[in-house]
Amino acid sequence: MGPAEAAKWMGIPNVVMVVYGGNPAPPFDAHQRPLDGLRRVVWSIVGDSSSERNDEQTDVEEVLALAGQHRNVCGAILDDLFNAPENGSRRWRVDAEELARLAGRLHGDGAGTRRLDLWGVLYAHQFDLPIAAHLGALDVVTFWTWHARDLGKLEANFARCEQLTPGKRRVLGCYMWDYGEGKPMPTELMEYQCRLGRKMLEDGRIEGMIFLASCICDMDLEAVEWTRRWIEGV
């Protein structure tokens, strides 16, 4: 099931497209066309950590070109921006100065072009990294819990996210699979993060929720089916 099919199946009018393992490679237009019927699409300019080409260069020019041809492309996201400090690599894949330049390109640099928002990904285990300047360059911060076992701390961790991102728009990322442990997401934990996310929406603490990922929507997983029914109900 592709992203457009998954969005329709789940009853979600928007999609976040993130390059995974280097794929897709530019040009992205053929992958965007099936998404043209959606309300909003955000494309990655830095893909997941296995997308090695983005260690050296971003896909910002490709996403800007997409936005010029497809009106529903409204933002660009940096997925795995921060590296784990213990792996011996750089702490981030784009430094703060370059991130500020990217934000300027997406915002139009005063040239009158259509503004795109700059999105980024933040995990609780990254709170203590020196990332204040990076977070300051973002328009939208998406917050994620990698291990399902840590969802019991979601409320406290999100409060910390709010402290680190004053004035930023925030979106709650909801995994429908426990990627940290490589196993199905327990339905009760899926229900917990959805109900908490709805309360955050009602309280104005977030402006949206992301359900990850389209690639598991046709695998007959109970957490996915529960989420689909929940979205339909609310």
Domains of the chain by residue range = 3-233
CB of 42 closer than 8 Å to CB of 75: yes
Topology (CATH level 3) of domain 3-233: TIM Barrel (3.20.20)
The pairs formed by 99-108 with CB atoms below 8 angstroms and a separation of 24 or more are 99/133, 99/134, 99/137, 99/138, 100/137, 102/45, 102/58, 102/60, 102/76, 102/137, 103/137, 103/138, 103/139, 105/60, 105/64, 106/60, 106/64, 106/75, 106/76
Give the pLDDT confidence of 81-111 residue by residue, as tens digits. 987 655 555 689 999 999 999 999 999 975 5
| pLDDT at position 230 over 90 | yes
What's residue 86's pLDDT? 57
Q: Residues 3-23: pLDDT tens digits?
A: 999 999 999 999 999 999 999
Q: Give the model's pLDDT for residue 222.
A: 98
Does pTM top 0.75 for this prediction? yes
* 164-211 pLDDT tens trace: 999 999 999 999 999 999 999 999 999 999 999 999 999 999 999 999
What's the whole-number mean pLDDT along residues 120-145?
96
Average pLDDT over residues 61-76: 96
Helix, strand or coil for residue 167?
Answer: coil
Residues in the chain: 234
Write down the pLDDT at residue 48: 96
**Minimum mean pLDDT among 31-35, 36-40, 81-85, 100-104: which range?**
81-85
Q: What is the C-alpha separation between 47 and 51, in angstroms, rounded?
A: 6
- Name 175's Cβ contacts closer than 8 Å, sequence gap at least 6: 144, 145, 146, 148, 185, 212
What average pLDDT does the structure give for the chain? 95
